């Protein structure tokens, strides 16, 4: 359970805004896989130094804010492919 609700209820709530009515097992698995990929990318972003971020034109504060987002707080661009 996540903060008093089940994982499935949590995911249904997250998907409601995206127009997905049913949470099938295959879709749930895909969401978890995408969440793991995004989590890994955010950890890599958090490891970059100020100089590396500056070279890419990324604000360090914005990078840390992105790196600290929740596991299932996925970008809409990644959710539309699900």
Q: CA–CA separation, 45 vs 38, rounded Å?
A: 10
63 falls within a domain: yes
Q: What is the pTM of this model?
A: 0.68
- What pLDDT does residue 60 have? 94
41's tokens: 């990318």
1 falls within a domain: no
Computed over its alpha carbons, how large is the radius of gyration of the chain? 15
2 falls within a domain: no
Domain around 62? 7-79
Q: How many domains does the chain have?
A: 1
- What pLDDT does residue 28 have? 82
Ranges of the chain with pLDDT below 50: 1-4
């Amino acid at each position: 359970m996540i903060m008093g609700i089940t994982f499935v209820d949590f995911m249904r709530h997250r998907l409601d805004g995206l127009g997905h009515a049913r949470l099938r097992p295959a879709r749930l698995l895909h969401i978890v896989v995408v969440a793991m990929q995004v989590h890994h990318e955010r950890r890599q972003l958090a490891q970059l130094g100020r100089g590396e971020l500056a070279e890419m034109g990324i604000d360090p504060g914005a990078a840390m804010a992105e790196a600290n987002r929740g596991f299932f707080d996925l970008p809409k661009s990644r959710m539309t492919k699900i």
